[in-house]
Amino acid sequence: MKSRILAILLIISLALSLLLIGCSSSKTKENNVDASIDKKKKEELDQAAFFAAKCGFCHDLDRIEKSGHRGDEWENVLKKMYQYDNGANLTEEDYPLLLDYLKKTYK
């Protein structure tokens, strides 16, 4: 079930990313603003897909939202996940990306 949800999230984020890329244009100032908004949304979708790929096999979004962790609390949570031998497939490069995503998403 979790792998099916993960696959659906990844497919949706990929489709939305492609849609956002196809809609962006930078010919006028208005289009530049639209492009920067599209870029931000794409980055957010990419971060959500990255989170789902790294953490979604054990933690669905409902569990994360109900955890009650906010802001700087995520640093300790990720440290615990990072320290598990086989509990999390996190690399040193993953850590700051996931922390940034969690802090921005769950303030």
Look at residue 69 in the predicted model and tell me its pLDDT.
92
Look at residue 38 in the predicted model and tell me its pLDDT.
79
Tell me the mean pLDDT in the region 57-70. 85
DSSP 34: H
Tell me the mean pLDDT in the region 12-22. 66
- From the list 43, 53, 50, the residue with the least C-alpha distance to 20 is 43
Look at residue 19 in the predicted model and tell me its pLDDT.
62
CB-based contacts of 100: which residues, under 8 Å, 6+ apart? 47
| Summary mean pLDDT of the chain | 76
Look at residue 74 in the predicted model and tell me its pLDDT.
92
Taking 80 as the threshold, does the pLDDT of residue 86 lie above it?
Answer: no
pTM over the 0.85 mark: no
Query: Domain tally for the chain?
Result: 1
Provide the domain limits for residue 64.
Answer: 2-105
